[in-house]
Amino acid sequence: MATIVGSVMTSHVPSIGNAIAKNRESDPYWKPFFDGYPPVRQWLGKVKPDVAVVFYQDHGLNFFLDKMPTFAVGAAADYRNADEGWGIPTVKPFRGHPDLSWHLIESLVADEFDITMCQQMLVDHALTLPMALFWPGGGDWPVRIVPITMNHVQHPLPSPRRSYALGESVGRALASWKEDVRVLVVGTGGLSHQLDGERAGFINKPFDLMCLDALVDDPRKLTRYSALDIVREAGAQGTELMAWIAARAALPGRVAKVHSHYHVPISNTAGAVLALSNDGPLARAA
């Protein structure tokens, strides 16, 4: 069976891509954000995952409104990034893990999650920037990926409760995978932010800090909110929190906080990262 080493959840704001491309990590504006990542990289270097299962949202690169899956699972041999229209540099392609993808798909459908299956999938900044933050330098990616997208473009959105259940189901599927691979579960987006409307620029630090605590010790607490509650509390685009909830729910055992970091603002967003090790019965020593 697979070993889930833990989870890293992180913001994925597009301007991070420009900051990396222009080597601005040490600029006064960016340093307080990028300072959150070295401890995460050190931990990743220790636990050495082979595969990253990534919960994220597509922002109009792969999916349009003609067909908008609530949840979609990639089953491709490789995944490319592409031009998103506003000029952040593209990154190297990612290797997929089709066998594991199909195993997850079969397990999820058997578990009554009627997901969409994708043998071709462009991956946008919500997947590429977290990978660039975890493994900087622009070299070959050290992990293969299984992308899982969650609709947050068009309401109705999946609820926090459903997102949690999806993550749990992915965690169970990983536990029954035949191969001994080391899996990192990633959740991307957030935290609070709003891009549209007269409330643009809305950030809710107390709510974010509550979420960062709850995700460690009491993640089910977040399932009491509706999707619209999350819009109200975390901003219209703060619903990306759903990917963090799913990633957390995939960790089956005892969880310990490796590192967390919170900084406001990056662009219009509360920037955050949270790394959790999975010390439960499924985890083995690194």
Partner 1 sequence: MSSKRDYGIPGTPIFDGHMAQKGYALNAMCYSFNSADNRAAFKADEDAYCRRYALNDEQRAAVASRNVLQLIAAGGNIYYLAKFAGIFGLDVQDVGAQQTGMTKDAFKQMLLQAGR
CB of 56 to partner 1, least distance (A): 13
Which residues, 41 to 100, sit near partner 1 by CB under 8 A? 59-61, 64-65, 82-87
Q: Which CB sits closer to partner 1, 83 or 140?
A: 83
Of 97, 125, 152, 263, the catalytic one is 125
- Within 10 angstroms of residue 21's Cβ, the number of other Cβ atoms is 14
154 binds partner 1 (CB under 8 A): yes
Is residue 103 annotated as a catalytic residue, yes or no? Answer: no
- Given a contact cutoff of 8 angstroms between Cβ atoms, the answer to whether 49 and 183 are in contact is yes
Name the token pair of 128: 């590429």
- Given a contact cutoff of 8 angstroms between Cβ atoms, the answer to whether 82 and 273 are in contact is no
- Given a contact cutoff of 8 angstroms between Cβ atoms, the answer to whether 70 and 150 are in contact is yes
22 binds partner 1 (CB under 8 A): no
How many chain residues are in contact with partner 1, going by CB under 8 A?
Answer: 39
CB of 110 to partner 1, least distance (A): 30
128 binds partner 1 (CB under 8 A): no
Query: What is the radius of gyration, based on Cα positions, of the chain?
Result: 17
Name the token pair of 119: 């043998």
| Residue from 93, 136, 142, 265 binding partner 1 (CB under 8 A) | 265
Handedness of CA 47, 141, 115, 125 (dihedral sign): positive
Is residue 193 annotated as a catalytic residue, yes or no? Answer: yes
Interacting stretch for partner 1, rule CB under 8 A, among 113-121, 133-141, 195-203, 252-260? 195-203
- Given a contact cutoff of 8 angstroms between Cβ atoms, the answer to whether 107 and 172 are in contact is yes
Handedness of CA 11, 12, 13, 16 (dihedral sign): positive
CB of 75 to partner 1, least distance (A): 23
Q: Which CB sits closer to partner 1, 86 or 180?
A: 86
- Cα(72)–Cα(191) distance, rounded to whole angstroms? 22
- Residues binding partner 1 (CB under 8 A): 15, 59-61, 64-65, 82-87, 153-156, 194-203, 205, 228, 231-232, 235-237, 263-265, 267-268, 270
